[in-house]
A and B are shown apart, each in its own frame.
Chain A
Amino acid sequence: MSHHIVKADNLYYTYPDGTMGVNGISFTITHGESVALVGANGAGKSTLLLHLNGCLVSAKGEIRIGDYQLTPKTMKAARRSVGMVFQDPDDQLFMPTVFDDVAFGPMNLGLPEQEVKDRVILALETVGAAHLKNRPPYKLSGGEKRAVAIATILAASPDILVMDEPTSNLDPLSRKRLISLLQTFEHTKIIATHDLDMALDVCERTIVLHKGEITADGPTLDIFNNEDLLLKSGLEKPLRMQEYKPILANLKKKTHHHDHDHNHHHHH
């Protein structure tokens, strides 16, 4: 299934105001791979994502989605196979009701009405939001909005999922639910994120970006064990891989105020 391949070849992009976006990026992501795109703020993650379905067009270099090179002519086909989940669900949910919003993509594909309905229900059930279908998007909670935003993409059945910060602004439980959801998807996934713990759970491969360039590309666990590399790229180990170091000042306060508790611990 070669059409699930994403290939970037020597991409360059500079914003009109002179800000450098990406500076010579190349990678190949094959079918079914799940790749985390990590890097400090302004490293070029979002810029790179916007290239993947032609929202931005690079000054130099090319993108291949499946068998075609991404050009204005192949844009439509590319957008069918690449589904993009934006960072702010409010940007993505623009229709009056959740149902209409999820139906937007399939309707634009020109599918018959019954199939649109089936797809919408299936997509909403997949993300666990079927009960929200008649609600207006602005009344949903942050977690619900995110789930519905993902459903809007699933409904068009893309081969490749591209996500920008899917776990940002979620409460711990919603985040956990989202992670298990992402683990069930068999699509090729490209996820830009600061949530390295999520990357650890969802992606077997990680690409590290720094100032518009790729500084590392390899198995997630190898990269997260390389502390020098992480530090140089403005990152740190996922919290789960860090040792718990109690903060001395807090401990002192605690001993001071709760003498009892402290003694108690010693007895054990």
Chain B
Amino acid sequence: MATIENNLFDIRTMDTLASGNTGLHRLDPRAKLITTLIFIVMVVSLGKYEISMMIPFVIYPVAMVVGADLPVFYLLKKILIVSPFAVLIGIFNPLLDTQPLLEIGRVSLSGGWVSFFSILIRFALTVGAALVLICLTGFNGVCMALEKLKVPLPFVIQLLFLYRYLFVLIEEASRMIRARSLRSFDSGRMRFKVFVPLLGQLLLRTLDRAQRIHLAMLCRGFDGHIRVAKPMTFGQKEVIFILSWSCFFILARRYNLPVIFGSIIEGFF
């Protein structure tokens, strides 16, 4: 339970970071969202053995972190927390794909290991970029950008409400868990027999709350549209931001920059 509450606190930390005031923070959320999406598509579409081509992509998250003065270790920790998923996805690759592919000194790496690492790197890059986006714009900013980009409104409203009531729901759940643990003296573990009604109870409470919120919205003239008065300005800065980063991503995706770079340097000697 302590971990639930800590994670809750962490989500709030991201929102606090988003209220910063650097040039990157002030950029229109749409520009950051589009750039991040292009970044993710480019990284994900890289071949599974092309580790060297992934290296240039590190520049984008690093530039954002440095430019917006974001806490590096905090972000790394976040990436590490979710990394088991990526490990799980790639863990069987070394067993299935044993063909030697790379030789470093006397050690030969099989294709499986290379693809395993490429999954890890792509994972770290994409999750890192997404985290940076949230830290720069805040979750609500991202939602507003989605709306302005003509993503269907019900979808955006879902996301907004999910984020708003996540805290209320988690607090409710942790109160119930606390109440249970205070009265179960025998063991710390929750038995299935207790867990199921607890979950059902939570669902019912959630439904009740949803109904009350809907009433509160109706009382204030809700008619299916959420209107937010927040002017967004998509100017020259935003266009330059998107175009320059996209050009870089496309270059890095099309050509193996480290190899070209290496051969240029080799040419000098």
Contact = CB atoms under 8 A, between A and B. Distances in A.
Contact of A91 (B216, B222, B227): B216
Nearest to A89: B216
Interface in A36-91: 50, 53, 55, 76, 79-80, 82-84, 86, 88, 90-91
A138 B161 CA distance: 12
Interface string A145-159: 000000011001000
B229 interface: yes
A7 B238 CA distance: 57
A31 interface: no
B248 interface: no
A55 B219 contact: yes
Chain B interface category by residue count:
20 to 34
Contacts of A53: 219
B140 A97 contact: yes
Query: Which residue, A50, A82, A104, A153, has most C-beta atoms of chain B within 10 A?
Result: A104
Interface stretch (A105-113, A178-186, A198-206): A105-113
A79 B213 contact: no
A79 B221 contact: yes
Contacts of B12: 139
A190 to B, nearest CB: 14
B160 interface: yes
A175 interface: no
Contacts of A90: 168, 209
Interface string B88-103: 0000000000000000
A68 B135 CA distance: 51
B221 A94 contact: no
B215 A94 contact: no
B167 interface: yes
B160 to A, nearest CB: 6
Contact of A94 (B143, B216, B228, B230): B216
A238 interface: no
A160 interface: no
A152 B221 CA distance: 12
Nearest to A107: B227
B228 A100 contact: yes
B229 A113 contact: yes
A91 B216 CA distance: 7
A138 B212 contact: no
A137 B60 CA distance: 33
A108 B229 contact: no
A234 interface: no
Interface in B207-247: 209, 212-213, 215-223, 226-230
A108 B212 contact: no
Interface in A93-121: 94-97, 100, 103-105, 107-109, 113, 116-117
A92 interface: yes
Query: Which residue, A55, A88, A91, A103, has most C-beta atoms of chain B within 10 A?
Result: A91
Interface in B149-176: 160-161, 163-165, 167-168
A94 B219 contact: no
B170 to A, nearest CB: 10
Query: Which residue, A88, A97, A108, has most C-beta atoms of chain B within 10 A?
Result: A108
A108 B221 CA distance: 6
A1 B205 CA distance: 42
A133 to B, nearest CB: 12
A138 B163 CA distance: 11
A92 to B, nearest CB: 5
A136 interface: yes
A83 B220 CA distance: 8
A148 to B, nearest CB: 13
B73 to A, nearest CB: 24
A86 B15 contact: no
A88 B163 CA distance: 19
Nearest to B217: A94
Interface of A: 50, 53, 55, 76, 79-80, 82-84, 86, 88, 90-92, 94-97, 100, 103-105, 107-109, 113, 116-117, 134, 136-139, 152-153, 156
9 contacts: A79-B219, A86-B215, A90-B168, A94-B216, A95-B228, A104-B220, A107-B228, A107-B229, A109-B221
Given A86-B216, A137-B164, 9 more contacts: A55-B215, A83-B219, A84-B216, A91-B209, A91-B215, A96-B140, A96-B160, A105-B221, A108-B227
